[in-house]
Amino acid sequence: MFEMKFAAEGGGLVAELSGRLDARSAPDFERDALAAADGLEGERGMLLDLSGLEYISSAGLRSILLLARRLSGSSGRVVLCGMAGVVKEVFDISGFDSFLPVASGRDEGLSLLSGRGA
Amino acid sequence: MGVREREFVASLESLPDIRSFVLEEDGAEGRLPPRRAAHMDVAIEEIVVNICSYAYEIPPGRLTVRVEESPDAFSVEFLDNGVAFDPLSVDDPDVSLPLDGRDAGGLGILLIRRMMDEVHYSRKGDLNSLRIVMTAGGR
């Protein structure tokens, strides 16, 4: 079971991911996230709030990589927050946290998106 | 405890059944600490996806999963009769590259290696065998 909800907050689009982002749910996530990225107007990027995410595999990482590439092509970015447990371990092992900014929470994530933060 | 074995269709549709066969059947969930069960969860998906994607020239083939539990180790063997392929022969990806240089290739096997205590590949007749082991004193 995987779910994604969008909320526009303070100059950025927040996507709240919950459940399992695996090889079965990744294609739907990828389609919806890329469509949302293409629909951004004033916002500079997307904050992925992963605090509700219980599980991610390399298929989920691949989709997040595609999303980050799509946004970087339009000078936007992807910021992450809320990783815990095995989700955090998967990000650590893959090194994705070395090229995607990781915020301590939603407020910091939004300020990173708007360029106010470091 | 003991040994259990089942054959599945090697297709992504089988993933939930394979997962519950390894992680839940015969009370297995009570014997694995949650963090180790999560590691096993990731390893199962990466192996099954790999076999479903690459092992068969005309998919889907069959996949046999054999679980062996002892007080010292939780071991899972995946057997397929697809083309011979040793996933451990692939170099680990460079995880220090920036966004532009990255692709997601090789991340699955890297996750397996880092989350399991042992990973063994062997060719058994016309079968690929990949066996992953979590030991009682492991990570």
A65 → closest Cβ in B42, B96, B104: B104
The count of domains in chain A is 1
Q: Which residue of A has its CA nearest to B13?
A: A24
Kind of pairing between the strands at B127-135 and B118-124: antiparallel
Distance CA A26, CA A2 (A): 9
**pLDDT classification of A95: cutoffs 50, 70, 90:** very high
Using a CB-CB distance cutoff of 8 angstroms, which residues of chain A are in contact with residue B107?
58, 61-62, 94
**pLDDT classification of A116: cutoffs 50, 70, 90:** low
Query: What's the DSSP call for residue A82?
Result: -
Across the interface, whether the CB atoms of B107 and A94 are under 8 A apart is answered yes
A86 → closest Cβ in B39, B49, B103: B39
Using a CB-CB distance cutoff of 8 angstroms, which residues of chain B are in contact with residue A55?
38, 41-42
Range of the domain at A14: 3-114
A23 → closest Cβ in B15, B35, B96: B15
Sequential DSSP letters for A83-97: --HHHHHHHHHHTHH
B46 → closest Cβ in A58, A65, A86: A58
Cβ–Cβ < 8 Å for A14, A8? yes
Sequential DSSP letters for A11-78: TEEEEEEEEEESTTTHHHHHHHHHHHHHT-SS--EEEEEEEEEEEE-HHHHHHHHHHHHHHHTTT-EE
Average pLDDT score, chain A: 91
Using a CB-CB distance cutoff of 8 angstroms, which residues of chain B are in contact with residue A72?
99
Compute how many other C-beta atoms are within 10 angstroms of the C-beta atom of residue B42: 24
Which residue, among B11, B13, B23, B45, would best test binding to A if mutated, counting the most A CBs under 10 Å from its CB?
B45
Residue type, A79: V
CA atoms within 13 A on the CB side of B116: 25
CATH at residue A42 = 3.30.750.24
Predicted complex ipTM: 0.92
Cross-strand bridge partners of residue A7:
A14
Measured in angstroms, the CA of A57 and the nearest CA of chain B are apart by 6
Class of domain B2-135: alpha beta
Per-residue pLDDT tens digits for A54-71: 999 999 999 999 999 999
Quick check: A118 pLDDT over 50?
Answer: no
Per-residue pLDDT tens digits for B23-64: 999 888 888 999 999 999 999 999 999 998 877 777 778 999
Q: What residues does each domain of chain B span?
A: 2-135
Across the interface, whether the CB atoms of A86 and B41 are under 8 A apart is answered yes
Across the interface, whether the CB atoms of B99 and A93 are under 8 A apart is answered no
Backbone angles phi, psi at B120, to 5 degrees: -130, 135
